């Protein structure tokens, strides 16, 4: 199968190209080669590659900055996704759109299923939801894969931030009132590889198994990395950020179960594998 990956220089895009490559013919495009906001460029690229599937991982991901850069967030996440959808449809390619747990408002008691009510509270979440809607409207065959709390070897993420902070400090505070599911890019890319090889279209929640708070995640990072840093729990109120975050964004993997996909490993197992690779370099 010929697979075109957008956002190939990003955290997920990089691992998608690497992990899908042995099985498929994978062509990755970074922003410098194909700006998704440029419809003519996206159409031209799609017509010259003629992929079977497009994995659309490119996105505006600066969650806090999006609160003030509203137009730019929508330009990339809504208009850019519209462009990818239109161009893919013209060459009869299927689309796998990567989305986020931030499409939910976080007020549900318990894990979110794929067809639960969405209600993003941040500009980033709203712009990603717009991308979902445009993909669903314009593509005849699509997968929407919502993921959360992503970490991988390429690009910035919470795990790397903690490791860096831990080098200069003996203690730090981390919020303990937001719960979610960490996700390792390698495990996510493997699931996406399995998914796009099928005709099981629809919306999927894909994260590593089991949930935690950011505080619990931070503690685990230091334990697994062998860094002795005291982590103190704090509240979101004590650590305000420009963009609101869902209090609960735990993803239930209903669509994976009902479509016969193997659940992704537990996040702690994923963290151990990530650190083994990352710290060995």
Ligand X SMILES: NC(=O)c1ccc[n+]([C@@H]2O[C@H](COP(=O)([O-])OP(=O)(O)OC[C@H]3O[C@@H](n4cnc5c(N)ncnc54)[C@H](OP(=O)(O)O)[C@@H]3O)[C@@H](O)[C@H]2O)c1
Work out whether 79 is an interface residue with ligand X (CB under 6 A). no
Of the pair 156, 171, the CB lying nearest ligand X is at 156
To ligand X, the closest distance from the beta carbon of 217 in angstroms equals 12
Q: Binding residue for ligand X (CB under 6 A) from 119, 155, 202, 265?
A: 155
Mark the segment that binds ligand X (CB under 6 A) among 9-17, 109-117, 172-180, 216-224: 9-17
Q: Binding residue for ligand X (CB under 6 A) from 135, 147, 179, 249?
A: 147
Of the pair 169, 273, the CB lying nearest ligand X is at 273
To ligand X, the closest distance from the beta carbon of 124 in angstroms equals 8
To ligand X, the closest distance from the beta carbon of 228 in angstroms equals 27
Of the pair 37, 39, the CB lying nearest ligand X is at 37
Cα-based angle 160, 162, 163 (whole degrees, multiple of 5): 65
Q: Binding residue for ligand X (CB under 6 A) from 83, 127, 148, 248?
A: 148
What are 55's strand-pairing partners? Answer: 5, 96
Of the pair 57, 78, the CB lying nearest ligand X is at 57
SS3 content of the chain, % helix, strand, coil (to 5): 40, 20, 40
Residue 26 to residue 84: CA distance in whole angstroms: 17
Q: Binding residue for ligand X (CB under 6 A) from 74, 104, 143, 149?
A: 149
What x/- string results for residues 191 through 230 when contact with ligand X is judged by CB under 6 A? Answer: ----------------------------------------
What x/- string results for residues 21 through 60 when contact with ligand X is judged by CB under 6 A? Answer: ----------x---xxx-------------------xxxx
Per-residue tokens: 108: 């549900």
> Look-up: residue for tokens 């230091």?
222
Concatenating the DSSP letter of every residue in 210-254 gives: S-EEHHHHHHHHHHHHT---EEEEE-TTTS--SS---SB-PBP-H
Q: 212-213 and 179-180 as β-strands: parallel, antiparallel, unpaired?
A: antiparallel
3-state DSSP of 80-145: HHHHHHHHHHHCCCEEEEEEEHHHCCCCCCCCECCCCCCCCCCHHHHHHHHHHHHHHHHCCCEEEE
Catalytic residue among 60, 97, 102, 124: 124
Of the pair 80, 106, the CB lying nearest ligand X is at 80
Residue 89 to residue 246: CA distance in whole angstroms: 33
**Integer CA distances (angstroms), 70 to 6, 92, 149, 214, in order:** 22, 32, 22, 26
Q: Is residue 97 annotated as part of the catalytic site, yes or no?
A: no
Of the pair 96, 138, the CB lying nearest ligand X is at 96
As annotated, the active-site residues are: 124
| Residues in touch with ligand X (CB under 6 A) | 6-7, 9-13, 31, 35-37, 57-61, 76, 80, 98, 100, 128, 147-150, 155
């Amino acid at each position: 199968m010929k697979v075109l990956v957008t956002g190939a220089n990003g955290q997920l895009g990089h691992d998608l190209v690497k992990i899908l490559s042995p099985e498929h013919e994978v062509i990755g495009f970074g922003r410098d080669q194909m700006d998704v906001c440029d419809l003519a460029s996206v159409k031209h690229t799609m017509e010259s590659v003629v992929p079977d599937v497009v994995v659309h991982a490119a996105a505006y991901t600066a969650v806090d900055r999006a609160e003030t850069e509203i137009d730019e967030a929508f330009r990339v996440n809504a208009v850019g996704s519209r462009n990818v959808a239109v161009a893919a449809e013209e060459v009869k390619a299927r689309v796998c759109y990567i989305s986020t747990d931030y499409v939910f408002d976080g007020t549900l008691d318990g894990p979110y299923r794929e067809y639960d009510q969405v209600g993003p509270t941040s500009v980033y979440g709203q712009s990603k939801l717009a991308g979902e809607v445009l993909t669903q409207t314009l593509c005849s065959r699509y997968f929407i894969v919502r993921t959360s709390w992503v970490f991988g070897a390429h690009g910035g993420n919470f795990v790397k931030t903690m490791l860096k902070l831990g080098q200069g400090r003996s203690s730090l505070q981390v919020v303990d009132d937001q719960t979610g599911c960490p996700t390792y890019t390698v495990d996510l890319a493997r699931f996406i590889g399995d998914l796009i090889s099928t005709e099981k279209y629809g919306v999927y929640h894909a994260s590593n198994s089991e949930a935690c708070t950011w505080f619990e995640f931070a503690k685990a990072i230091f334990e697994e990395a062998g860094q002795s840093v005291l982590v103190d729990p704090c509240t979101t109120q004590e650590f305000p950020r420009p963009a609101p975050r869902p209090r609960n964004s735990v993803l239930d993997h209903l669509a994976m179960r009902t479509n016969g996909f193997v659940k992704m490993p537990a996040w702690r197992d994923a963290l151990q594998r990530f650190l083994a690779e990352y710290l060995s370099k």
